[in-house]
Amino acid sequence: MAVKPLREGGPAARIAVIAGDGIGQEVTPESIKVIHAAMDSHSGSARRQIEFVELDWGADKFLREGITLPAGAVEMLANEFDAILFGALGDPRVPSNQHAAEILLGLRFKLDLFVNARPVELFHDRLTPLRDRTTNDIRFMVFRENTEGLYVGVGGFFKKDTPDEIAVQEDVNSRKGVERIIRHAFEYARQNKLKRVCMSDKSNAMTFAHDLWQRVFKQVRQEYPEIESRHLYIDTLAMEVVRDPRQFDVIVTCNLFGDIISDLGAQLAGGLGLAPSGNIHPGRTSLFEPVHGSAPNIAGKGIANPLGSILTSAMMLDFLGWTAEGNALRTAVRAALQENFVTPDLGGEKKTVEVGDWIAKRVGSR
């Protein structure tokens, strides 16, 4: 566990780093390098302090010691850290993916990280598969409910492994859970002076669970009269996001639909190598991770795209209240894409470390 000491002066943040498996180990150090460059570009009293504590949780530890989330881990993270910078989990040597599920889902649920924030922003026209769309057309935020729905693991089998087998998976929606994510979406719109919030469900078919979403949405939106609120069924939303993404500023939806629609959004904005996300509970320790997985097919080759992780770090800096630094990271990523200083997945030939160095230099010289 490498602990980087705090520097003198200025406000401080303490970050737990779980680089994890595969390319998580390659992209996360680039993020840390870039964050340090952003901090170092300040001088005097404006200088930020940030401390990174690396945690070796992942497949190697699981295979070696049988440990996924160590005892007391959740309390330690909640009490001693402001945020968690996460890489990726997933290793072919653990086909069950047990360690990944226990660590990532465990942290999402146990830290009550009810907001999954997935910004969709096109940084360069050439990166979208949509014809004639530009950077002006694709910019919206997806808020996915992150602690309930079909992902809570309530259900079971009846007559398992027989021809009469029945499998049941319950969709769990609490009034509190639905209300807090919808309210978060409206608050985000208000704070960022965005005009439109779209809530998406399937209340025509899911007549109990999504009836609750309907009722709560109608109630909460009354508190935000300046914001144009709209409802679309999820199937219609999927079509509309592709047909004309300009219609959307903020989308809020349940766990399953948010998982799918945010991946669709990621593709509209250049794919997995560029997509960031935050698992957030406002005011509490929150976890920031690139959307991509551990990519075992390219792990160890030094060619993973670090930009998704760097944009994730920008979200983390925003969360810490350091928006100038977050914006500096986004500006540098935009510049790298402009100059085509990119890894092979985006048609370039640069290495992970070269891209990280380029961004760090750019951020450091602002």
Under the rule (CB under 6 A), what is the footprint of ligand NAD? 23, 27, 88-90, 97, 100, 104, 272-273, 289, 292-298, 304-305, 308, 345
* C-alpha span between 134 and 126 (Å, rounded): 8
Nearer to ligand NAD, 50 or 329 (CB): 329
Write down the catalytic residue from 259, 318, 345, 350.
259
Write down the catalytic residue from 56, 125, 137, 263.
263
Nearer to ligand NAD, 41 or 267 (CB): 267
Q: How far is the CB of 24 from ligand NAD (least distance, A)?
A: 7
* C-alpha span between 297 and 47 (Å, rounded): 40
Write down the catalytic residue from 151, 188, 249, 318.
151
Cβ contacts of 71-78, under 8 Å, gap ≥ 24: 74/106, 74/107, 74/110, 74/111, 77/16, 77/107, 77/111, 77/285, 78/111, 78/284, 78/285
What is the per-residue DSSP string for 45-104? Answer: GG--EEEEEE---SHHHHHHH--SS-TTHHHHHHHH-SEEEEEE---TT-TT-HHHIIII
Write down the catalytic residue from 4, 61, 110, 202.
202
Nearer to ligand NAD, 10 or 302 (CB): 302
Nearest to residue 296, comparing CAs of 68, 25, 98, 84?
A: 25
In the beta sheet, which residues pair with residue 120?
A: 140
Examine the residue annotation and report whether 259 is marked as an active-site residue of this protein. yes
Nearer to ligand NAD, 270 or 326 (CB): 270
Q: How far is the CB of 298 from ligand NAD (least distance, A)?
A: 4
The distance between the two most distant Cα atoms of the chain, rounded to a whole number of Å, is 71
Q: How far is the CB of 133 from ligand NAD (least distance, A)?
A: 22
Residue 291's contacts (CB-CB under 8 Å, 6 or more residues apart) are 118, 262, 263, 266, 272, 275, 276, 277, 308
Examine the residue annotation and report whether 224 is marked as an active-site residue of this protein. no
Nearer to ligand NAD, 273 or 356 (CB): 273
Nearer to ligand NAD, 200 or 352 (CB): 352
* C-alpha span between 208 and 145 (Å, rounded): 17
Tell me whether strands 286-290 and 276-280 are parallel, antiparallel or unpaired. Answer: antiparallel
Examine the residue annotation and report whether 263 is marked as an active-site residue of this protein. yes
What is the per-residue DSSP string for 5-32? Answer: PPPSSS-EEEEEEEEESTTHHHHHHHHH
Examine the residue annotation and report whether 188 is marked as an active-site residue of this protein. no
Q: How far is the CB of 62 from ligand NAD (least distance, A)?
A: 13
Examine the residue annotation and report whether 202 is marked as an active-site residue of this protein. yes
Q: How far is the CB of 20 from ligand NAD (least distance, A)?
A: 6
Q: How far is the CB of 90 from ligand NAD (least distance, A)?
A: 2
Q: Which residues are part of the catalytic machinery?
A: 151, 202, 235, 259, 263
